[in-house]
Amino acid sequence: MPNPTAAMLVIGNEILSGRTRDSNLHFLAGELTRHGIDLREARVVSDSAAAIVQAINELRSRYDSVFTSGGIGPTHDDITADCVAEAFGVPVDVRDDARALLEAHYARTGSEINEARLRMARIPDGATLIDNPVSIAPGFTIGNVHVMAGVPTVFEAMVASVLPTLTGGAPLLSQSLRIMRGEGQIAGPLRDLAAEFPDLQMGSYPFQKDGAFGANVVIRGEDGARIDAAMTRLAGLFPE
């Protein structure tokens, strides 16, 4: 059986403007690979309701799981919960269980919950909460969409909460070989090797070191023995 598939939707003007560097995609890709879920697509959209709703509906219809990051905080531009509710055609409002989590948290810290903080308790009808042990304000899952914070430490904690609930497949294994030749020299033999092993993924990633050109060739797949065989052939094609 093929592995389950996933997509990630990164939400925020700060990412598209270059003000903030996204690290959540890198983290999620690694975690999904280990869990046997194939991340097939990633998108970045602005804080535009129309763009977010469209992207959510397109991705959730195409993949088994969708992970979003960003836009569930307390400020006016945090509109992800509203957009997800619109995409699913359900109401969204402050929910008692989410409110209780926030009230208890702010009571412990000696702060009062206010209207802005209550925005983080607005959950679409029918969603289940995603645990947030870092800053308490929950994410949520509705259908096959998992809605998470953009702050990396919180996003990572939420991924850790969600992954055990998802069915995975075979983890993707990989090996690499550094070849001190330019890609133009290795392209033909590498193409033939890829045709010989159609069940594996082969990628070439060029680099330059001390004025010399080379490439890291990475072979990925689910069968370790097949990867070993392909790596042996690759090393034979390009002996040092």
Kindly report the CATH number assigned to the domain that includes residue 100. Answer: 3.40.980.10
The CA dihedral of 117, 120, 125, 130, to the nearest 10 degrees, is -140
In angstroms, rounded to a whole number, what is the distance separating the alpha carbons of residues 139 and 151? 12
pLDDT grade, residue 112 (50/70/90)?
confident
Residues 141, 46 share a domain: yes
Number of domains in the chain: 2
One domain for residues 44 and 16: yes
Strand 212-221 and strand 5-11: the pairing is: unpaired
Tell whether 178 and 161 lie within a shared domain. no
pLDDT at 100: 96
pLDDT in tens, 215-239: 999 999 989 999 999 999 999 999 8
pLDDT at position 1 is 78
Of the candidates 56, 12, 13, 65, the residue with the CA atom closest to the CA atom of residue 38: 65
Residue 118 has pLDDT above 90, yes or no: yes
Q: What share of the chain is helix, strand, coil (3-state, %, to 5)?
A: 40, 25, 30
Q: Residue 34 belongs to what domain range?
A: 5-165
Give me the residue label for tokens 């890198």.
Answer: 26
Residues ≥6 apart with Cβ < 8 Å to 167: 4
Angle between helix axes 49-62 and 80-88 (nearest 10 degrees) is: 50
The residue type found at 171 is P
Instruction: From 109, 141, 165, give the residue that closes a domain.
Output: 165
Tell me the C-alpha distance between 123 and 108, whole Å: 23
**Is-contact 87 81, C-beta < 8 A?**
no
Query: 28: which residues sit within 8 A by CB, 6+ positions away?
Result: 8, 39, 67, 155, 159
Q: pLDDT digits over 162-212, tens only?
A: 999 999 998 889 999 999 999 999 999 999 999 999 999 999 999 998 888
Domain boundary among 165, 190, 206: 165
Average pLDDT of the chain to the nearest whole number: 95
Q: What is the pTM of this model?
A: 0.87
Same domain, 17 and 95: yes
The structure tokens listed for 154 are 């919180």
219 and 159 in a common domain: no
Using one digit for the tens of pLDDT, what is the confidence trace for 10-67? 999 999 999 999 999 999 999 999 999 999 999 999 999 999 999 999 999 999 999 9
Q: What is the pLDDT of residue 226?
A: 96
Judgement on whether residues 98 and 205 belong to the same structural domain of the protein: no
| Domain's final residue, options 116, 142, 165 | 165
| Residue 16 shares a structural domain with residue 125 | yes
Residues 146 and 207 in one domain: no
Could you tell me the CATH number of the domain that includes residue 212? 3.30.70
* Contact predicate 32/64, CB 8 Å: no
Same domain, 152 and 215: no
